[in-house]
Structures are given as structure tokens and as C-alpha cells.
């Protein structure tokens, strides 16, 4: 059984919980959150990602280059991979994301998979908006979604 490492960091959108298996980032959650019960608090596996997040939040970084390992169903993994293809500073609708992953009628399933994304910000679920251009559900709250989009130069 592998060890789960975790740490928390401050950010402009509130405290963040980072989790790792020691090689890859496995989670990025926004407060409120519960640290792993069997995890080991250790900041060292996160030095690179913390630096990249700092750069992102100051506008100096537009993409992330860290190994990720998300656990999910094959459908969820396809949705999350589709999210990573949405460029910085752009948004798409749930329907467009469903079309891009090859399942144009799966808008609601895409929405559920989007909502269960375990690696927020880096897997940019905040870039998915309603078909009419409005902000829709976001696990971190619509205020955080609006802040992340504004940071990327998008006003909704």
C-alpha cells in the first residue's frame, strides 16, 4: 500500500489541500476539506506544484507541467482529459465538452464528471460554463469559479 502525502497552502481562492502518492499529484481540493485520515503531512512532494500554482495565481503561468494521477471511471477520465484541452482564458459549454469527447448527448453525465474532478484548478473544470454563457455549478462555489475565470481574463 502506497503512502498518501498531503499539505495545505494558502491561495487567492482560499486554502487548498494537495495530495500525492509521492510521484504524482492525486488531488487538489478547496476548503472546506478533510485531510486524508491515513495520510502523512509532508510539503516536500509538492514543491514544484506549489511554485506553479503561485505562478498561475499571479498570472505568470498559463499551463501546468506536473504528473497527475486521478482515480475515476473510464468516462470520468475522458472528461477530465477533455478539460485539460481547454486553453487558458477560454470557456466551453458542457455540450461542447460532451461533443469533444465523442459523446454529444452526454451533457449531464459530463456535468457530473466535471463536478467530481479531484484535481481542481490544474484540471480546469472552472472553464466549463452553461450553454447560454452563464456560470453554472462549481464544487468550489460560483464565487471561486468567477475569480478563477477573471484571473484568466474572462468576465462572465
- The C-alpha atoms of residue 52 and residue 46 are separated, in whole angstroms, by 10
Residues 6 or more apart whose CB falls under 8 angstroms from that of 50 comprise 9, 18, 43
In the chain, CATH 1.10.10.10 sits at: 74-151
- Answer whether 26's CB lies under 8 Å from 18's CB: no
Indicate the SS3 state at residue 112.
helix
- Answer whether 7's CB lies under 8 Å from 43's CB: yes
Question: How high is the pLDDT of residue 69?
Answer: 97
Question: How high is the pLDDT of residue 82?
Answer: 98
Active-site annotation holds for 33: no
Indicate the SS3 state at residue 134.
coil
Of 26, 11, 20, 79, the C-alpha closest to 44 is 20
What cell numbers appear for 11 in the block? Answer: 491561495
- Per-residue CA distances from 63 to 60, 66, 74, 102 (Å): 10, 10, 24, 24
CATH class of 74-151: mainly alpha
pTM of the model: 0.94
- The C-alpha atoms of residue 151 and residue 149 are separated, in whole angstroms, by 5
Catalytic residue among 28, 106, 113, 125: 125
- The C-alpha atoms of residue 107 and residue 38 are separated, in whole angstroms, by 36
- Answer whether 155's CB lies under 8 Å from 63's CB: no
Question: How high is the pLDDT of residue 46?
Answer: 97
Q: What is the mean pLDDT of each run of 10 residues along the chain (156 residues)?
A: 91 97 96 90 96 97 96 97 97 96 95 96 96 87 94 91
Q: What is the pLDDT of residues 18-34, one digit of tens each?
A: 999 999 999 999 999 98
Amino acid at each position: 500500500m502506497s503512502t498518501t502525502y498531503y499539505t495545505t497552502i494558502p491561495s487567492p481562492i482560499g486554502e487548498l489541500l494537495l495530495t500525492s502518492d509521492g510521484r504524482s499529484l492525486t488531488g487538489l481540493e478547496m476548503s472546506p476539506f478533510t485531510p486524508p485520515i491515513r495520510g502523512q503531512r509532508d510539503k516536500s512532494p509538492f514543491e514544484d506544484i506549489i511554485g506553479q500554482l503561485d505562478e498561475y495565481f499571479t498570472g505568470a503561468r498559463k499551463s501546468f507541467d506536473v504528473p497527475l494521477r486521478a482515480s475515476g471511471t473510464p468516462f470520468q477520465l475522458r472528461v477530465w482529459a477533455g478539460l485539460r484541452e481547454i486553453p487558458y482564458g477560454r470557456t466551453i459549454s458542457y455540450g461542447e465538452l460532451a461533443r469533444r469527447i465523442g459523446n454529444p448527448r452526454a451533457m449531464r453525465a459530463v456535468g457530473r464528471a466535471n463536478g467530481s474532478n479531484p484535481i481542481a484548478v490544474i484540471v480546469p473544470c472552472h472553464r466549463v460554463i452553461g450553454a447560454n454563457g452563464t456560470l453554472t455549478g462549481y464544487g468550489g462555489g460560483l464565487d471561486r469559479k468567477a475569480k478563477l475565470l477573471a484571473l484568466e481574463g474572462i468576465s462572465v
